[in-house]
């Protein structure tokens, strides 16, 4: 099943509950929440208290993307805040196995993320334990960047891995995805689409519905 996970990084932070409702009305079932610490990436965004507050107003699947150093320090906070998926960067920690175990022990789903410069083989030791692999098609930190199409080769590698091993996990893409290039993502085997600016600029509900139409083709 293909999934749209709109990124609230591109929404109006003063109206996050409304931002969640708008994409839900367009058919989205997930919400992508970017957490940045100003160290691992050069930006600061949302923390666990915001996730907890938003959880009260939305039934969407919270797809929480931790772009922070040593995410193992904050896993419990984001679990308690109401995250459904917690995705962390392989480059940001030496405790990947511990994080995976802790998230699963709490009954939540866990994903592992790759920056553009990181080879896909870096996450191969964990592919039999994660629920999702997130491929960044921009350098993480800021929205509105241009899509790096060469990163789709990582998705093709993951598709072949799944066929070879019988393992099952989501393949997610994040960065510069829009209505013009989303089909190329789907053709590469990606089934979870993160879109920020392409959803939250203009008619948000209609933009989400346009993505959902393509994802349902």
Listed in order, strand segments (DSSP E) in 52-153 are 61-67, 85-89, 109-114, 132-136
Residue 89: CB atoms within 10 A of its CB come to 24
Section 162-182 average pLDDT:
97
> What phi and psi, each to the nearest 5 degrees, are found at residue 197?
-60, -35
Question: pTM (2 decimals)?
Answer: 0.96
- Could you confirm whether 12 is annotated as catalytic? no
Asked if residue 47 has pLDDT above 70, the reply is: yes
Q: What percent of the chain has pLDDT over 90?
A: 94
Q: How far apart are CA 78 and CA 73, in angstroms?
A: 10
Catalytic residue among 63, 131, 174, 210: 174
Residue 86: CB atoms within 10 A of its CB come to 28
Catalytic residue among 34, 63, 131, 210: 34
Q: What is the pLDDT of residue 143?
A: 67
- Could you confirm whether 174 is annotated as catalytic? yes
Closest CA to 154 of 137, 176, 131: 137
Region of poorest pLDDT, from 81-85, 105-109, 141-145, 189-193? 141-145
């Amino acid at each position: 099943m293909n999934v749209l996970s709109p990124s609230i990084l591109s929404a109006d932070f003063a109206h996050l509950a409304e931002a969640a409702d708008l994409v839900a009305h367009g058919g989205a079932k997930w919400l992508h929440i970017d957490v940045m610490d100003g160290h691992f990436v050069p930006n600061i965004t949302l923390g666990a208290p915001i996730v907890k507050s938003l959880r009260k107003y939305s039934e969407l699947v919270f797809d929480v993307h931790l772009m922070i150093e040593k995410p193992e320090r904050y896993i419990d906070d984001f679990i308690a805040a109401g995250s459904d998926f917690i995705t962390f960067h392989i480059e940001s920690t030496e405790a990947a196995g511990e994080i995976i175990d802790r998230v699963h022990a709490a009954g939540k789903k866990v994903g592992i993320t790759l920056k553009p410069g990181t080879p896909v083989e870096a996450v191969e030791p964990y592919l039999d334990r994660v629920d999702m692999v997130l491929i960044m098609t921009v350098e993480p930190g800021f929205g509105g960047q241009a899509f790096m199409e060469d990163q789709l080769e990582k998705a093709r590698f993951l598709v072949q891995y799944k066929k070879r091993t019988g393992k099952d996990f989501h393949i997610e893409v994040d960065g510069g995805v829009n209505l013009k290039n989303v089909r190329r993502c789907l053709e590469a085997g990606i089934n979870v689409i993160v879109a920020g600016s392409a959803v939250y600029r203009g008619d948000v509900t209609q933009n989400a519905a346009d993505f959902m139409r393509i994802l349902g083709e």
